[in-house]
Structure 1
């Protein structure tokens, strides 16, 4: 082999060595991704500043989970570690931004006891994602499909989550309050548009500080940013970061960015924020390569200006 390589010259040896190193790294990354990577939970923290945040909510913390996809999960021990890690953040509020299952409510049966352990003093709230409606499978009747969605609502309740379906609630802390809004799925490119932001906000004061849960991040640019009343913070999921890419903090890339302008992490426009969670579970690709499952922790801070 050495003689074969030397026959091509010293430069060719260097190039061949580099190719072999890159190939080995790719292979190792793929093997890690389909074995341990899909449960390689990472806590990502951001501090967000708002001039209109009520003073009593200064320092308020939110843990966000998204895209559990229970039908794809396999290792209860690994998932338990993720839930423990989420609880260790000791956030004030816990929010889940959709896609609890792949297709049916029954997928959550083996996992209810694990996800019921999630705790937050100001409550646990959830919305539906595009997979939660059962739209991607054949049902024997409309009644069967409707019953499945009813069962999924019951699962949320059994785990201690309040499901917000085009609805808003008030979160009260000391002498102040903020509004938490949850809309049903609203997507682009053929995804369902069940979300109704106007209905969800019809009884909210115009000067209320608002946090919106909307599964698909494309909703932010299409409807949330131009909405008549400001939504200071939107939380989404859906993209999974395509479960494949490069995510180094200072640099991130994934093929999903050619389909979604906002696909992972924090975005800011005109003083309003969007955070896109990379997902807790996985679907389709039975692993994660470079884009690790995420537990998001957001700290809200009041700025002076």
Structure 2
């Protein structure tokens, strides 16, 4: 079945795009030769035309190289353009509202011209954005970071004092194109010497076969208490067309086999007990449950047979599940580990600032959250999808140490 062409969204985007572009051209007029200004109309028009044409081909050809290049260039151009326009709007707002106007009679006021320094500053900011995106596409998507948390609990069993776990999420193997870089990430995981390793979903983009080139890499991950995993929304193959439901089901069965081949114990609405020195904690995992992304998981089934107040860790791909069911569940779940958001692969986490557009969709999108004496950690993801890069939100390897309060 042919996909419906998103005519209205593209039309709205084009109108907004060219309005912003027109404002930018007017601001650049004093500092750029006329013949170059014309290219500031031609370039975005050609770029948008290529992107629109490639969308028409998606249903038959999938994501062509033209689509990938035009989408990425369009994204970088639009964001840098937007930054420039915001800088000029702030300048114009200041000179029109607070600037001193000259009155020439008959109700005519002449406001001071936009300072050229403001235009050059806008150009500089746009250049910084372009450089950041280029770095994110070339290097940033494999710039793995180790993020450490120490969490304290009143009721942690004494034997698990100092217990250390490593979490990664959202590998999206179909997007990975640099095995050497991925190996650096695997080596970094193993260097943490964790007691327990967990993976919180989205091993692939759509098809099980995507992980095959990387099975040897991820099978190197070992931890004394085991390696455990759950499924994410992309693992079910919901975002591609299949010849039949049977073929789609076979793909999921094959992906489950690949989890086992890697050495991951896949938890499907179930739990296991981790024992140390005669004491235990419960590790549960559910199938994907996410608002708008399939509510497959059954938390009650996963917890069946566990005691209400025993120490529990839950693997659940989508953080919206924690908000909807976990944080106030009658059976106390001390720590939930999620992923899914990727931090939208774009944002700012520096100098005390933490911002990403994804925050308009998810209440908690990265790092640790505590509520009702329970913790949630949202991993920023190991891989990437859609935008082939990361800017400001780097691929994450989480290390969590459990401590007795």
Normalising by structure 1, report the TM-score: 0.94
Where 1:46 maps in the other structure, the secondary structure is strand
Superposition pairs for residues 194-205 of structure 1, below 5 Å? Answer: 194-205=296-307
Q: Which has the higher helix share?
A: 2
Q: Distance in 2 between matches of 1:214 and 1:142?
A: 25
Aligned length: 296
From 143, 148, 155, the counterpart of 2:246: 143
Q: Distance in 2 between matches of 1:53 and 1:158?
A: 32
User: Unmatched 5+ residue regions in structure 2?
Assistant: 1-29, 32-111
- Structure 2 partner of 1:103: 206
- Structure 2 partner of 1:235: 337
Deviation beyond 4 Å, 4+ runs, structure 1? none
Q: Distance in 2 between matches of 1:95 and 1:250?
A: 29
Q: Give the C-alpha shift of residue 16 in structure 1.
A: 3.3
Correspondence 1:272 to 2:374? yes
Deviations 1:22-58 (CA, angstroms, capped at 9, x unpaired): 1221111010011111001010000000001001101
CA contact (8 A) 2:312 2:332 kept: yes
Q: Give the C-alpha shift of residue 249 in structure 1.
A: 6.7
The structure with higher relative contact order (CA 8 Å, sep 6+) is 1
Where 1:297 maps in the other structure, the secondary structure is strand
Q: Distance in 1 between matches of 2:177 and 2:120?
A: 38
Where 1:284 maps in the other structure, the secondary structure is coil
Q: Distance in 2 between matches of 1:114 and 1:249?
A: 35
Superposition pairs for residues 71-90 of structure 1, below 5 Å? Answer: 71-90=174-193
Q: Distance in 1 between matches of 2:308 and 2:389?
A: 44
Normalising by structure 2, report the TM-score: 0.71
From 145, 157, 166, the counterpart of 1:63: 166
From 85, 106, 129, the counterpart of 1:26: 129
Correspondence 1:154 to 2:242? no
Q: Give the C-alpha shift of residue 209 in structure 1.
A: 0.2
Q: Distance in 2 between matches of 1:29 and 1:62?
A: 32
From 341, 346, 353, the counterpart of 1:251: 353
CA contact (8 A) 2:159 2:276 kept: yes
Where 1:94 maps in the other structure, the secondary structure is strand
From 276, 280, 284, the counterpart of 1:173: 276
Q: Give the C-alpha shift of residue 10 in structure 1.
A: 12
Q: Give the C-alpha shift of residue 289 in structure 1.
A: 1.0
CA contact (8 A) 2:308 2:330 kept: no
Where 2:222 maps in the other structure, the secondary structure is coil
When Rg is computed on C-alpha atoms for both structures, the one with the higher figure is: 2
CA contact (8 A) 2:344 2:358 kept: yes
